[in-house]
Amino acid sequence: MITTPPGPTLLGFDLIWVGTMLAAIAAVAVVLAIYAAVTVRDPMVKRVKALNDRREQLKAGIATTARKRASIVRKNETADKMRGTLASLKVLQESQVAQIQQKLAQAGIRKKELAVVVIFARMVLPLVLGIFAGVMIYLVNYFPEWGSMKKFFLFAGAVGVGYKGPEIFISNMISKRTDKIRKGLPDALDLLVICAEAGLTVDAAFGRVAKELGRAFPELGDEFTLTSIELSFLTERKQAFENLAYRVNLDSVRGVVTTMVQTERYGTPLASALRVLSAEFRNERMMRAEEKAARLPAIMTVPLILFILPVLFVVILGPAACSISDAFSDGGPAKGG
């Protein structure tokens, strides 16, 4: 029987097998990179479509009566059923719905009827996950070696995840979107100053800034485009600015909204006020970057101790330890002879 000699090994692993797996992973990564480069999609297509729908809604709201306007709004049957169920159980509060609608708007979700879906999910998911965890833990006994306290904590964790899961998911979306808007706000204010000094109106200036920053900061371009549309169609321009502060959970945007409302009311120069705000926000962004840089040495201490220093010790002391070991292994038999 002919046997093939084993290949080279390192720490018990076959080097040929490890190399083959790494080559396969690299080939898959290259294919995925080529696919991502070829199928590049414009991130503004879906946003522009949503904003055009909003424009049509505003046009319909101005041109039609209240009865016709109500017929234009499409009702979601699933959301209506959920609302009826929650209302029959007397767990639906209008203040809670309004709060979740604002959170959805801050997360970039325009459909207000999804607030009822979120409330319904917060009521149903704890029951579903709790029943599933109870069946798996106590009836099926999927973890027989666990103690009673450990099983109870797992059951309580499943129920807690079901209750807090939707809220945590929405809060995460809001945080990411707010950070992206915060990064592009100083540049947007600089462009607003240029547009105001060039003689553009406020709604035209917002539209121009949204067009220029739409690809670099699509979330900020989305909000500015929607504000420009509302400035053109709403009867009160103040309401358009208040809607911008309603949709963005950021103190800087509230400051911009307050400035815009004051300039609309008292006729103060818009360019000078925006220039002061832009400089203030830019200094704030620089201070935030300096704060992160100042915290970097303290943050790097733990990785330095755990990962970098042991490698340095192995590299520096490894050859010396090998030399000493070879000297003792060679000298031992010589002395015995």
pLDDT in tens, 253-284: 888 888 888 888 887 787 888 888 878 888 88
User: Residue 162's closest CA among 130, 126, 119, 134?
Assistant: 126
Residue 172, pLDDT score? 92
User: Residue 134's closest CA among 148, 155, 156, 153?
Assistant: 155
Mean pLDDT estimate for the chain: 79
Alpha-helical (H) ranges within 198-304 are 202-213, 218-233, 237-247, 251-266, 270-303
Buried b (16+ CB within 10 A) or exposed e, 65-80: eeeeeeeeeeeeeebe
Mean pLDDT of 67-71: 42
75 vs 312: which has the higher pLDDT? 312
pLDDT in tens, 143-172: 888 888 888 888 888 888 888 888 899 999
Q: Is the pLDDT of residue 336 over 50?
A: no
User: Residue 61's closest CA among 230, 192, 184, 222?
Assistant: 230
Q: Is the pLDDT of residue 6 over 70?
A: no
Cβ count within 10 A of residue 168: 11
Buried b (16+ CB within 10 A) or exposed e, 27-60: eeeeeeeeeeeeeeeeebeebeeebeebbeebee
**pTM of this prediction exceeds 0.85:** no
The separation between the first and the last C-alpha atoms of the chain, rounded to the nearest angstrom, is 43
